[in-house]
Amino acid sequence: MGIFGVDIHPRFQAGISIEEIRREGVDFMAVKVSEGTDQSYLALGSGDFLRRGRTAGLLCLGYHYLHPGDEDVQAKVFTEALSSSGVPGLLDAEALAADGQTPTLSVAGIHSFVDACTRLGARVPLLYLPRWYWDRLGRPALAGLPPLWGSWYVDPSVTSAPASVMYQSHAAAGWDAYGSLQVAVLQFTDRAQVAGQLVDADHYLGTREQFAALIGRPRPGKDRSEMDQLPATSMPANPDSDPRGWPELNYDVGFDPAGGWEGAFAFSFGVQEWGGRSVDAIRGYLRLASWILADRSLAPVDPVFTLDGGGQTMFAHNPTRTYGAPAGAVGLTLNYAAPGGAYVSEGRSALTG
């Protein structure tokens, strides 16, 4: 019983196929998003890893490698990374002195960091503080901190293999509580074969749904509607001509899940009134409309909004029907003509909890 996960780094696992990780049966993934006051990891590849992971169906977290001191500043860096990525957090507490042996963190400092994250609104449901690190700290009480993401590796003589195979050699004692905290997740190797690379592999004893509840994965909440005003296009030389020949504009509308919104998204397109045309009530034209997917590929919103589809002439304040976004869409791209301006009416699901 249980599910498997991985924790990866944008540099050490550069080029790994996130989609293949999911296809191999992995359910959750933690990705490094910050360290100390360094906030460069999203740009280095972690942001892409997390976007693709969520699209592929992985339960995702971002983790922060804690340095001693400046806990409030570090918490702000971490909180901003989590907010940008739209994922909950994992705290990695294992910093050592230059001798590679002496812990530099304190339980008080860890508490200070977690408390600062809470004040800033970040969700940090798990703490990676390995048993060996706790031993070197003098086996202090850890009460009041998040449940543990522990580590106890299989014997080095065990041949590297897929995570599910290597877990069969794990030590049952790895699940024993310490510091008064339960071990919720166990990292049992740093050399599981996943998606063609050797990575840290982890196990959770419950179900996928239970793990999602543990980390507090964002869930749908109230609906909210918005309207984006789109710029006007150039005036046609002959306003009474066929609108399919009018000057057009390409415009992208983004709705990345970060910032409190998830992919449940619907839109309709409309145009504004203008007085340049006299032969009928047509005020614009929508030629193309495509969903922008996470891998930057495009998927037609409807066959009518393709090069062969003919498009749709538009009347003022009479928008298209509403179209719902497919899973994994992160935006919308439109080619339209609207001398009086245009708009997109959006409906999105807010994240709560």
Let me know whether 147 and 245 are in one domain.
Answer: no
For residue 67, how many C-alpha atoms fall within 13 Å in the half-sphere facing its CB?
A: 13
**Average pLDDT for consecutive 10-residue bins of the chain (353 residues)?**
94 94 95 95 93 91 97 94 90 97 97 93 93 97 95 93 95 95 96 96 94 69 60 93 94 58 67 92 95 83 93 92 79 91 74 36
- pLDDT of res. 281: 93
68 and 96 together in one domain? yes
Q: For residue 338, what are the domain limits? A: 220-352
End of a domain among 217, 247, 275? 217
8 Å CB contact between 265 and 321: no
CB 51 within 8 A of CB 329: no
Question: Is there a contact between 183 and 175 (Cβ–Cβ < 8 Å)?
Answer: yes
CATH assignment at residue 40: 3.20.20.80
- Measured CA to CA, the distance from residue 11 to residue 73 in angstroms comes to 24
292: its two tokens: 């922008």
CA trace torsion 269, 275, 276, 281 (10° rounding): 60
Q: Which of 180, 198, 217 lies at the terminal end of a domain, its last residue?
A: 217
Residues 47 and 139 in one domain: yes
Same domain, 50 and 151: yes
8 and 142 belong to one structural domain: yes
Final residue of a structural domain among 217, 236, 266: 217
- The reported pLDDT for the residue numbered 330 is 73
Say if residue 70 is in the same domain as residue 128: yes
Q: Are residues 262 and 181 in the same domain?
A: no
pLDDT (0 to 100) of residue 112: 96
Q: What CATH number is given to the structural domain containing 285? A: 2.60.120
Say yes or no: 169 and 41 in one domain. Answer: yes
pLDDT the model gives residue 259: 37
Give the pLDDT score at 226: 64
Question: What pLDDT score was predicted for residue 345?
Answer: 82
Joined together, the tokens standing for residue 250 give: 């390409």
Do residue 227 and residue 153 come from a single domain? Answer: no
Q: Are residues 245 and 213 in the same domain?
A: no
Residues 69 and 23 in one domain: yes
pTM of the prediction? Answer: 0.63
Q: Are residues 138 and 243 in the same domain?
A: no
* 269-301 per-residue burial string, b: 16 or more CB within 10 A, e: under 16: bbbbebeebeeeebbbbbbbbbbbbbeeeeeeb
Domain count, the chain: 2
